[in-house]
Structure formats: structure tokens, C-alpha cells
Amino acid sequence: MSKAKTKELGMSLIDSFSEFKEFKNIDRATMMRVLEDVFRSILRKKYGLEANFDIIINIETGDIEMYHNRLIVEEGEVEDPYLQISLSDAQQFEPDYAVGEDCIQQVFLDDFGRRSILNARQTLMSRIIELEKDELFRKYKDKRGEIMTGEVYNVWKREIMVLDDEGNELILPKEHMIPRDIYKKGDTLRAVIHDVNMDKGAPRIILSRTSPEFLERLFELEVPEILDGLITIKKIVREPGERAKVAVESYDDRIDPVGACVGVKGARIHGIVRELRNENIDVINYTTNLSLFIQRALQPAKISRMELDDTNKKADVFLEADQVSLAIGKGGHNIKLAGKLAGYQIEVYRVNIETQDEDDVELDEFLDEIDQWIIDEFKKIGLDSARAVLRTSSEDLIRRTELEEETIQHVKRILQIEFED
């Protein structure tokens, strides 16, 4: 190869790396180090590990200069031609050389042959791929918990592939999607960066729309007081797509944390609700008074009294009959989330149930005639006795349970016969 060809090859190698640098933001120091390592690998194979070389790379011009340094020794004392050179041979490069000095000889790529140069290209590409993986892993590892916006590239049964603004592939698994999430290729979605790990040598970036962190980041975007530190989110619990409870506290007595998070006429929270596919969000004023905190967590139900068992982390809550279903909520979400928010197991009881109807019968007494799952449906809405079910209209039972009208009428007939007898 000629010097022109050497320069052309060097420029080609640098161009390929510079293109990678432009898109992946590899810093200049790393680029120089990788290029130097590639050329040193060629030199080591030809001259051995101990040989001393200087490599000068000019990124702007594409010039690559390599110099072989050898110790000048007396005639006949050369033990390793890659480490030493005789005085007579050295003086062919520079007449003024003397014994004990270093002889500096320039080395050109055309001295290595086509195979070595092709190996250098492959080595460079391998290093580029490794750097790309390492950079992607480092970039997203530092962004755990942040919201990102991406474009849906592929939709599979168990997960969705999302591309970020640089074309990197991110994954949104099915279990991290809100049940009502439906996406097709080309759609834009928002999610939080949930986890970053290495899978078979490649970074795997997991997104989530169901984690509490996602809801927390959405609040930070919509409520400036949270971002400014005037309001803090103490805890978030969610049933994705159904209901969430957010406990907030203000560090400024002049700021109502609940009102600030909801906004005027719900302006701030409506955007979050839409993003979460109409997930109901209860914003609760945090307090260290556990009894009051549980009472707030169970809203809109009004509690008559409460008994706390701090040892077993249990709270027995007593309510009027018409408040039980409100405390439990649709599908039991309200009481379940209230328990998670407070860190206590909450049990709901109707006030004075034992004295309201002395002849009342618990629903469990009818297990020989009514299936357990049907009885459980009534209990979910706070109806655990025969008279409680009979007092509730069929229309209300159809609306509040998952039971069909025919099943409800059948149950009522069985219960009514008990009292007729």
C-alpha cells in the first residue's frame, strides 16, 4: 500500500468511528483510546508484547503515524531485533545516532498485509458494538425512575418494543401495562424507566406504566409545588387502571397539598387520570395520626369508630350499614389500597349488627344451598347476613356486584324462605 492508501484506510477507520460517536455521544477520549488500542493490537501481533511504539492519531485529518522505538546497541549485541537495533543499522535512519539512544523508525500500515488490516477493521467494529452496549446500559442505568416518551415499533403478545429518540430499543412488558392500554405501531407512549439489566451481553431496558413511580413522576410534571419541594409525596399505592391513593404533605402551612395536587376544578389531576386510562386517584392529606390517616384513606366512607391493634398491625373499622360498601369500594379496591397505604390490615364491621336483628342469619349458614363465590360477592359490598341482602334492592345488587339478576332473585328466594319458616 502507498502512503495515500494508508491515509485512506486510516480515514476510513476513523470515519466509521466518528459516525458512531456522532449518534451515540462517545467522548473524544474514549474514541482516541479505542483507535489506539486497535492499532496496538496489530503491532503486538507482529512485533511482540514487549515492543515499544508511539501512535499518533489526528482525528481531524485522518492521519495515523506509528513509530517503533528500539535501543541502539554495539554491533553483535542485538538479542531481540524488536527491542534493539545495532548502531550501524540505526545510522541508516539518522547518521548522528549513538549507542544507548533510542532509534525511532516510522511504521506504515502497508507493512502488515491485507489480513492484518481486515482484522483491525473487525476489531474496531467489535469494540464499537461493545461501546454501544456499555454506553446504552450506563445511560439508562442513571435514568432509572425517570419518565421517557417513545414510539411503538413492534407489538407482540407478551411485550411491546419502543424506540427512544435515538433509535434505542426499550421493552414494555405486558405485566407493566395498564389493563386498558392498547397500542399499535407508530403510537407514542409515556412510561417510567423501571429496570436496566444485561441479558446475554446486551442491555435490556424495562419500562413500566403500572409502577407507583410512574404516577409519582406524572404528579411532578403536573404539580410545580412537588417539583419545588413545597409538597412531598409520602406514599403511593395503585391497582393499575382501577384506583390509586396518594398521600401528600405540605411543608408550607399556606399551601393545601390536596388542593394543589387536584388543581382548580381538577385541572391538574385530570391530565394524569387520562394518561392512566381513567384510573381513579384519591389524594389524601398525610398525617402521623394513624387513626385519622386510615379514616382519610377510607373516604368517602364515614367511620363510626375504630379499634387499632398495633402489635398485629390490624384495624377494626365500624361503620353504619350504608357506609360499608363505600369503604370496601368496587371490587374491594378502596379497602385494599387503604390498608396498603396505612400498612395495616383493615377489617370492616357494621355497627351493632348483632342487635339490629336478633333473628338475622349469617350468609355462611346457607353454604349448602348457595355457592361460596356468590356469598363472597355479597360480602365484597358489605352484606354478610340474610336480612342485609333482602333489604337491598335487586337493582342495587346488580349494579354493585358481578351477579346476574336471575342469580340474585334465586338467592333472595332462598333467604326469604328461611324467615317464612
pLDDT score for 355: 44
Mean pLDDT within 301-317:
90
| Short-list 45, 166, 172, CA closest to 113 | 45
pLDDT of residue 354: 46
Whole-angstrom distance, CA of residue 131 vs CA of residue 238: 38
- pLDDT bucket at 419, cuts 50 / 70 / 90: confident
Helix (H, G, I), strand (E, B) or coil at 41: helix
d(CA 244, CA 401): 21
Confidence of residue 45 (pLDDT cuts 50, 70, 90): confident
**pLDDT at position 267 over 50:** yes
Does 367 score more than 50 pLDDT? yes
Distances (CA, A) of 3 to 9, 10, 110, 401: 10, 10, 8, 84
Cβ proximity of 248 and 211 under 8 Å: no
Evaluated on CA atoms 220, 222, 228, 234, the torsion sign reads negative
What is the band of 59 on the pLDDT scale with cuts at 50, 70, 90? Answer: low
Compute the average pLDDT of residues 367-381. Answer: 86
Q: What is the per-residue DSSP string for 269-294?
A: HHHHHHHTTS-EEEEEE--S-HHHHH
Beta strands at 314-319 and 345-350: parallel, antiparallel or unpaired: parallel
Say if CB 269 and CB 263 are below 8 A apart.
Answer: yes
Residue 225 cell numbers, joined:
409545588
> In angstroms, how far is the first alpha carbon of the chain from the final one?
109
What are the backbone dihedrals phi and psi of residue 45, each rounded to the nearest 5 degrees, phi first?
A: -65, -35
pLDDT tens-digit map of 146-178: 999 999 999 999 999 999 988 889 999 999 999
User: Does the structure show a pLDDT above 70 at 346?
Assistant: yes
CA separation for the pair 357, 229 (Å, rounded): 54
Classify residue 128 as left (phi > 0), alpha (psi -120 to 50) or beta: alpha
